[in-house]
Structure 1
Amino acid sequence: MVMTTRTAPSPRLRPGLGLRLIPIGDSRWRLVDAAGLIIGHVDTVTEARGTRYRALHYHPGSRSFRELGAFWSLDDAVDCLRYAR
């Protein structure tokens, strides 16, 4: 019997952005800047139509995350967070 683990695809970041994407679960990543400050999270949401990727931006003033949207592409969710900072 062969067991397989289902994991979400790893997102790609273009070199030179000074950002890192750190896996923090099977289907969640933390986006941090070069200093290690949290920009936000991306997590997967399974819907009847397929998998969506939700971008959650960290708001330091309220010390909470604010949803920016759900995307069909993991790369689009990462880009949304990148531009929100």
Structure 2
Amino acid sequence: MNAGMNTAAAASLVALGLDRWRVLDTAGGVIGVVDALVRPEGLRYRARRYRWSSRAFIDVGEFWRREDAVAVLRRG
């Protein structure tokens, strides 16, 4: 986990490998995933929201910081 993340934020992330994290809501339900991506301009973090109705992930966006990708998923 990134040392810059607070305890509450870190508690709702589950590592799925070296470059993917599952983001959970306060009840432990899956909100989405964050993937670390190597791009020519540097490391980016892609937020993907899980849609229960279609049982699929929808891209939300790419961010420079993992914390920003997690925050956009939590805001809904």
State the TM-score bracket (shorter-chain normalisation).
0.7 to 0.9
Given the two structures, how large is their TM-score scaled by the length of structure 1?
A: 0.77
Q: Which runs of 4+ in 1 moved over 2 A?
A: none
- Which one has a bigger Cα radius of gyration? 1
Q: Which residue of 1 aligns with 2:5?
A: 12
Superposition deviation, residue 45 in structure 1: 0.9
Extract unaligned runs of 5+ from structure 2: none
Q: Match of 1:28, as an amino acid?
A: R
- CA displacement at 1:33 relative to structure 2: 1.6
TM-score (norm 2): 0.86
Structure 1 unpaired stretches of 5+: 1-8
SS where residue 21 of structure 2 aligns?
strand
Taking only the aligned residue pairs, the percentage that are identical comes to 39
Equivalenced residue count is 74
What code does the residue aligned with 1:27 have? D
Between structures 1 and 2, the one with greater helix share: 2
Return the alpha-carbon distance in structure 2 between the equivalents of residues 74 and 56 of structure 1: 12
Counterpart of 2:54 in structure 1 is: 62
| RMSD over equivalenced CA pairs, Å | 1.8
